Every structure is written in C-alpha cells, then in structure tokens.
Amino acid sequence: MGYSLDFGWLAGAAGVIARGAAMTLLLIGVTTLAGTFLSILGAAGKRNGPRPLQAAIGVYVEVMRNTPFLVQLFFIFFGLPSLGVRLDPILAAMLAMTLNMAAYTIEIVGAGLDAVPRGQTEAALALGLRPRQVFIKIVLPQALKVIYPALTSQIVIMMLESAVVSQIAVRELTYEADMLQARTFRAFETYFVVTMVYLGLSMGLRRLLVAGGRLALGAGVS
C-alpha cells in the first residue's frame, strides 16, 4: 500500500477552514431568514391568494422539488446573465438556496397553517382583530410551533446542500477544501477533516436551533 496519512498541514490550515465555515454559516443564516419569510408568504398565498397565484405557487413548488439544486444554481448563475441579470457568486448562491429551500418549506409551513384550528381565527375575528393581525398574531405563531422540528431538519439539510455552491466559486467550506487539497496534495486527509467539520456544524446547528426554538416558541419543542 505504501500510503501513510499526513495531517501535518492542518495547523497552518485552521484559519482557512474557519473562514470557509463562517461563510457556510452566513449563507445558511441568510437562507434561513429569507427562505422562511418567503415560504410564509407562499403558504399564505397558496391558501388565500387569487386562483392564478395559487396555481403559480403550485408550479413553482413542483419545479423546484423535482430538479437538482446544482442545476438550479447553474441556471441562476450562468443562465440569468443572458436575460441581463448578472449576480455575483455569493448573491447567486443565496438566491438559489433561498428559492430551493422555500419550495420545501412552503409545504411545511402550509401544513402548520392547516393544523391551527379554524376556531382560533373565528375567535380572533370576533374580538375585532383585522385579518392581517389574525394571521400574524394568532395563526402564524401557533403554526410555527407545530412545524418547528420539520423546519429545523430542512435548515440542516440545506446547510449540507450548500457544499454545492463551491462550484460557482463561492469561498465557503467546500471551496476552501478544494483549494487546500490542491496546495497540500493531501486530498483524502483534507476532505476527511472538512467532512468532520461539516458533521460538527450540522450537529451544532441542530442543537442551536432546538435551543433557540425552546426560547422563542416556548417549551415543548423538541
């Protein structure tokens, strides 16, 4: 075999890996906020919007869920400039991730909205709240509480999926790993270390989201 593992390069690479991880976290942070917001609008639109909007959201969800994220990313980054929309890699990555995540979370948020009993809306309307207030103050918080575990899983999945955006030269964790292995010629060791960093990130992110959910939405969220 004659191959021995060598992790000697690791000490000099810690800073680069940390920077890549920070970019990955930034991407998923922005995506989480924008994607959740978009999916609340989408889920509400799919239930109460005009017919054409409902149909359009339905088509959007099906198209995004049945095509690979990598192709969506290439379409946005390479395809949109031919329509005159030129995005820098980071923006393109954030846009692609947000649009992809929203397609999944629209269904999740929708399920949450359906789970809130109709009586809640009726009671709030009877108390004189305007429809928008009813949605924001009464229905939405209860729906979010129900779907929070599913939302957490989707965020972690999206974080792992974000490794792909290295392909359009966003300097996140995978991109830094590619650069490192090109410099150290230690491909296996480099990808092994970075894989473990991803494992740590996904476990940490899940813990953080669960703790945050407990704090923001009250106990009972697992």
Partner 1 sequence: MIEFTFWDIVRNLLLAARWTVLLSLAAFIGGALVGLVVLFFRIAPNKWVKRIASGYIALFQGTPLLMQLFLMFFGLPMLGLRIEPWTAATLGLTFFASAYLAEIWRGGVEALPRGQWDAGASLGLHYLQELRLVILPQAFAITRAPTVGFLVQLIKSTALTSIIGFEELVRTSNAINNATFEPFKVYGLVALMFFVMCFPLTQYARRLEQRAGAR
Binding footprint of partner 1 on the chain (CB under 8 A): 1, 3, 62-63, 65-72, 74-75, 78-83, 156, 160-164, 166-167, 174, 177, 181, 187-188, 191-192, 194-195, 198-199, 202-203
CB of 125 vs partner 1, minimal distance in Å: 31
Tell me whether residue 39 or residue 162 sits nearer to partner 1 (CB atom).
162
Tell me whether residue 66 or residue 132 sits nearer to partner 1 (CB atom).
66
As given in the structure block, the two tokens for residue 76 are: 């946005």
CB of 164 vs partner 1, minimal distance in Å: 6
Work out the number of other CB atoms within 10 angstroms of the CB of residue 216. 12
CB of 91 vs partner 1, minimal distance in Å: 17
Indicate the length of the chain as a whole number: 222
Q: What letter represents residue 81's amino acid?
A: P
CB of 25 vs partner 1, minimal distance in Å: 14
CB of 163 vs partner 1, minimal distance in Å: 4
Give, in degrees to the nearest 5, the angle at Cα 134 between 133 and 136.
60
Tell me whether residue 32 or residue 162 sits nearer to partner 1 (CB atom).
162
Tell me whether residue 25 or residue 156 sits nearer to partner 1 (CB atom).
156
Distance between CA 48 and CA 132 in Å, rounded? Answer: 12
Tell me whether residue 80 or residue 116 sits nearer to partner 1 (CB atom).
80
As given in the structure block, the two tokens for residue 83 are: 């329509």
Question: Residue for token digits 């000490």?
Answer: 11
Residues whose CB is less than 8 angstroms from the CB of residue 73 and which lie 6 or more positions away in sequence, other chains included: 92, 93, 96, 164, 165, 167, 168
Question: Residue for token digits 């953080």?
Answer: 208
